[in-house]
Chains A and B, each alone.
Chain A
């Protein structure tokens, strides 16, 4: 924060993930709080936290693709399904353990990303959205085929290696933290700069010597791999895989997380995830308070749809920077107080 008179004087300093002593202190407080959380929270809060952690992996993956590289993916639910079904099928067919299914899911995700990313390279613009839409329907169809062929018409049941929600919390926390660190590391290097450049303008990026096709494809493959891993973890966490769980609405939830959180920020992806996971529970609570709960209980999903759409539109129109934008404004207000404007030239 340059408003405090602190300036970065070297590139190493500029690229550092944790910069000042205050940041380090806050980060360690945050880590301790996270570690203490499962011992203090009840089972419901713990399940919510696990959902947030699980969703955050996919949301960060989509943020890399949409928020940084500027490509739209409508196949996020399909990719989660790909990871989940890879785990489910390997478990059912050869009784593989998670140490086999997890890398296998990652490999399947990378392969799908490569195959479906290739055709979209030939044109600029929104063609990735188009091919990922095809991806969604093809993967879901393949999953349904497997379910009906093998007689698991209601879904594939998996044995979870972890029974305890507390143990899951630490596993998911590790997975989420690893994803975030991996992403931040990519973003501060050459790859991340290339992604941001093609987001800005492809022709300029190419003129600067960036291999536009390689950058686009790498963004998509990385995003797909991470999402597929999240799908595998989802399968184990739920202990159950079914094609119905991966509708287009799941994709829209992730897109909502990216928009509401704030495009082009990892912190935004995390804030958006919290919003998206807690939002349906908030709506349900609100319905109960207003007394609509009984009348609308059969269509509560429709209330969710409408509210999601409305929230996304409001953020797109009035707060395109998302929750991160609000966060930064609040931060700046406190940092600058009692002044209101940043000094000129900052």
Chain B
């Protein structure tokens, strides 16, 4: 029972992070390798707003969420915008550069000590009993938050005007642009949403375990979840997150705790051998000259 609870929390973490990878890849075919850092930036954003709006935790959370969204738009507006039309290679290299820049800047700005934004908000991380398992309040929020985010994204992508434009741009950018879809706006929105969800993941993990440099590694470990499910499928990201999380928790528990960092990548390699486009991903179309 405890194992199931652990798997659920880890799967929620991976799913929440992975949907950022999927959103950006699906819309602009760019693999964002700065996602772990952007996630960490979201966590630090919460720490800052928590100390700014001490005593008003809800205001602090809303402000940090808005901040994460704004950072996403900024990343596109300042950097990734210039990479549209360049090769995908250049765009991916740009995200690597952005990641290392952010990592250095964050250490300079916030130091290397572990921070606990939950204290700043004035809340405690209570332990809640569900059946025979115990789960932390932040962990439970993570699971519920992830479910809410996926529900909202599903409705957004299928029912709203902007969501449909987003899917169109992902399917065929040229055709979408010719039908009057503003690609820059769509791409900026994708980056904004991805950073927002990633930032949310960062904030919730920070509430649970504090902000540490390992947060970036968690961001990278969520990438296999996105790929196992299929890089262009949100449903796949959810399924992939469950698979990777289950494999990780079970192997740590029954085999060796040191395996934690490698299990997701084992799963990833296995998937690349068996079905490289992922469980729910679309197989790439024929390339015509």
Contacts and interface: CB of A to CB of B under 8 A. Distances in A.
B262 A305 contact: no
B101 A138 contact: no
A313 B98 contact: yes
Contact of A130 (B97, B101, B227): B227
Interface stretch (B58-66, B169-177, B268-276): B268-276
Nearest to B34: A309
B289 interface: yes
Contacts of A74: 33
Contact of A252 (B90, B96, B262, B277): B96
B89 A70 contact: yes
B162 interface: no
A305 B276 contact: no
Interface in B76-129: 79, 82-83, 86-90, 92-94, 96-105, 107-108, 111-112
A82 to B, nearest CB: 15
Contacts of B261: 137, 141
B82 A137 contact: no
A73 to B, nearest CB: 11
Contacts of B104: 302-309
* B-side interface mostly: helix
A201 interface: yes
Interface string A44-78: 00000000000000000000001000101010000
Contact of A316 (B29, B93, B105): B93
B86 A138 contact: no
Interface in A71-99: 72, 74
A302 B96 contact: no
A119 B99 contact: no
B287 A305 contact: no
A185 B266 CA distance: 37
B287 A124 contact: yes
B205 interface: no
Contacts of A141: 258-259, 261-262
Contacts, number: 141
B273 A119 contact: yes
A316 B289 contact: no
Contact of A72 (B92, B224, B289): B92
Interface residues of B, number: 48
A322 B265 CA distance: 33
Contact of B100 (A203, A263, A309): A309
Contacts of A255: 93, 96
Contact of B266 (A122, A138, A299, A310): A138
Contacts of B88: 125-126
B82 A317 contact: yes
A175 interface: no
Contacts of B277: 123
B108 A123 contact: no
B262 A312 contact: no
B179 interface: no
Interface residues of A, number: 52
A102 interface: no
A130 B268 CA distance: 8
Contacts of A116: 269
B135 to A, nearest CB: 28
B102 A137 contact: no
A27 interface: no
A83 to B, nearest CB: 20
B265 A138 contact: yes
Contacts of B86: 320
Interface in B185-239: 220, 223-224, 227
A312 B101 CA distance: 9
Interface string A114-131: 001011101111110111
B269 A134 contact: yes
Nearest to A203: B287
B161 interface: no
Contact of B272 (A66, A120, A252, A303): A120
Contact of B93 (A130, A207, A259, A303): A259
A145 B255 CA distance: 14
Contacts of A137: 261-262, 265
Contacts of A296: 108
Nearest to A131: B272
A122 B287 contact: no
Given A138-B262, A203-B288, A301-B107, 6 more contacts: A70-B89, A125-B88, A141-B259, A305-B100, A308-B101, A312-B94
17 contacts: A119-B269, A119-B276, A124-B287, A125-B284, A130-B227, A131-B272, A141-B262, A204-B289, A299-B107, A302-B104, A305-B100, A305-B104, A306-B108, A309-B99, A312-B101, A313-B79, A313-B101
Interface of A: 66, 70, 72, 74, 116, 118-120, 122-127, 129-131, 133-134, 137-138, 141, 144-145, 201-204, 207, 249, 252, 255-256, 259, 263, 296, 299, 301-310, 312-313, 316-317, 320
8 cross-chain pairs, A with B, having the tightest CB-CB distances, nearest first: A309-B101, A305-B104, A306-B104, A312-B97, A302-B107, A119-B272, A134-B265, A309-B100
